[in-house]
A and B are shown apart, each in its own frame.
Chain A
Amino acid sequence: MASIDIIPGPADTARADSVWSKIRYHAAAHPLGVVGAAIMAVFVFAAIFADFITAFDPIRTNSLITLAPPSDAHWLGADQMGRDIYSRIVYGARISLAVGLGSTFLGCVFGVALGLTSGYLGGWVDLVIQRIVDVLQAVPLLVLALVMAAALGPALDNTIVAIAIPLIPYTARVVRSNTLTLREQPFVEAARAVGMSEFRIAVRHVLPNTLAPLIVIATAQLGAAILTEASLSFLGLGVPEPHPSWGRMLSESAAEYVRTAPWLVIFPGAAISLAVFGTNLFGDALRDILDPRLRN
């Protein structure tokens, strides 16, 4: 047998080509997913470059433009405190993304830890963890988030935790059921045969194989987290002032402005819906690509 030549250059470009061609292939097959990704990109762009694409401070009040309708200077009008709504929506993308990504990440970390331990170890550990998951899942998401938010107090980081906790059981369930099948696989047995520690098998061999369903569920939860933050803030129990949260912009006082200043109601709600819509479109496409069992 001749020695195997390792030629890094061409092989690497071939691989990069195949990644791009794969993306192109999936994009062509899922046009709605591309739309979703584009919407998400716009919101991420707004969140990152908020300072450069707005002309007004989202927090400073100006009594001269109180409840001003949309105009050339203030594209989306101004609110009851004379704050520019366009600027508040752009900066609000930061809050929504921070809470959305933060609570999804936290929920996934704890969900993976619980699900992996539960599924891999089995036995009484599994029984105990499953009862905890049952408890967290039995209370509707918003109700649990409300109680958590009230218990922790109104602050940005507390809101993230309050939304993350109700998300844990969903991730834990998915990871556990995947782990249950994976731990019977020959490659796990092989790893054990060569003397690898159980912890290392679970983290290095089982966990990476649950990644696809994990990405699918995390995208779905991102939308749910953004919606829950909006609801909490709408009810006055989420992100506190002066943060420009979309939900807070629609807080109960908004009902008064339904008659007099509809732009106060329309635009923040449209921002929430569009952001979540983008995530859902993208998530659907991802699920179709990564989880062939669900493919229609």
Chain B
Amino acid sequence: MLGSYLIRRFFLMLLTLFGISVLVFTMLRVVPGNIADILFDAAGMIDTAEKGKLEKELGLDRPIAVQYAQWIGGLAHGDLGYSYVSEKPALDEILPRIPITAKLAGLALLFSILFGVPLGVVSAVKQNSGLDYVLRVISLSGLSMPAFWLGLLILMVFVKYFGTIPIYTDPPQGFWSSLWLYSVPAAAVGFRSSALVMRLTRSSMLEVLRQDYIRTARAKGASDSNVNYHHALRNAVLPVVTVIGIEAAFLMGGLIVTETVFNIPGVARFLVEAIRWRDYPIVQNLVMFIAVVAVSINFLVDLLYAVLDPRIKYSG
């Protein structure tokens, strides 16, 4: 039963990815002005013959459907095309940037679990206390602050108290220096996720704490901490897992602006640069990459759900 569900989910996933590829490809082609326009506008030349030659060279003169087929055909055997700007293979441009963003995202997620889950539990256990109110206001402000502003504020504090800015200039050498260099921006990204995880842990805990089996456990004389952590948290953690999964996929938004503020050469900042330059091969491949990551994480979360909660039954 689970098997047929998974197969169905897998095909739906492929269909979604196909839809995204069509959407992104057409969106980028309706953009007024392609790279040839940008290059020629910047140079101040209006030589249509020259421009036509460039467009032909880049394959921009062919019908959209043909261009799309070429892209997907290339993807199938690992050919992502060439960056218009650097003229290097898109794969060589994208691959080295992935680990940088992945480290940042991993650290941010780690922060969000480390802070979000325990604070959410405390907030729920001490519902309506002063501490609960403070934690709720902090978490809500975490969801209200733009990540790039938080990043700028962090830079400001560093300038004021340390006289330096923890900004990315050269690739860090050694484990500790790279951990240091990544954890500052990761904290800026992770604040929002921690807030989200905390809010969800809190409401999920409150839901569980109302259940009959919690009352039973208390009636049997189980200690508060035993009830809270052993009985309640275990049952409350399920929806939190889903949100952490979704948040992992959606960290990208925070990463885009944070990498820009901290000058980190990861894929997220690269996407913005590529969009500005109308570097289609980079943009479409990067968006596809992000979508593949997001969709696969969702798929994995569903799997995890089935493992964590044996009550869930899947109908084909």
Contacts and interface: CB of A to CB of B under 8 A. Distances in A.
Given A140-B249, A234-B148, A135 B19 contact: yes
Interface in B270-316: 271-272, 275-276, 278, 283, 287, 290-291, 294-295, 298
A231 B276 contact: no
A272 B141 CA distance: 11
A252 B287 contact: no
Interface stretch (B53-61, B226-234, B250-258): B250-258
Interface residues of A, number: 47
Given A140-B290, A151-B31, A231 B146 contact: yes
Contacts of A250: 146, 148-149, 152
Q: Which of B30, B143, B149 has most chain A Cβ within 10 Å?
A: B149
A247 interface: yes
Most buried by A among B12, B140, B203, B294: B140
A121 to B, nearest CB: 20
The main secondary structure of chain A at its interface with chain B is helix
Interface stretch (B21-29, B110-118, B173-181): B21-29
Interface stretch (A57-65, A80-88, A112-120, A253-261): A253-261
Interface in B242-268: 249-250, 252-253, 256-257, 260-261
B276 to A, nearest CB: 7
B131 interface: no
Contacts of A172: none
Given A147-B287, A258-B155, A269-B149, A135 B23 contact: yes
Contacts of A227: 144, 146
A131 B145 CA distance: 32
A110 B11 CA distance: 27
Nearest to A270: B149
A42 interface: no
B20 A135 contact: yes
Interface stretch (A71-79, A206-214, A277-285): A277-285
A272 B271 contact: no
Nearest to B158: A258
Contacts, number: 145
Contacts of B155: 255, 258
Interface in B103-150: 127, 136-137, 140-141, 143-149
Contacts of B152: 250, 254-255, 258, 265, 269
A236 interface: yes
A153 B159 CA distance: 36
A185 interface: no
A225 to B, nearest CB: 13
Interface residues of B, number: 54
A259 B12 CA distance: 51
B153 interface: yes
A140 B19 CA distance: 15
Contacts of A276: 143-145
B16 interface: yes
Nearest to B167: A255
Interface string A236-262: 110000000001001010110011001
Contact of A139 (B20, B31, B149): B20
Contacts of A259: 159
Nearest to B286: A143
A146 interface: yes
Contact of B253 (A131, A143, A258): A143
A272 B30 CA distance: 32
A296 interface: yes
Q: Which of A141, A237, A259 has the most CB of B within 10 A?
A: A259
A263 B19 CA distance: 45
Contact of B276 (A132, A134, A135, A236): A236
Nearest to B209: A296
Contacts of A140: 249-250, 252-253, 290, 294
Contacts of B250: 140-141
A16 interface: no
14 contacts: A131-B12, A135-B16, A135-B23, A138-B20, A143-B253, A147-B275, A150-B275, A223-B144, A231-B257, A250-B149, A258-B159, A269-B153, A273-B149, A276-B145
Sort A-B residue pairs by CB-CB distance and give the 6 closest, nearest first. Answer: A269-B149, A142-B253, A135-B19, A277-B144, A276-B144, A140-B252
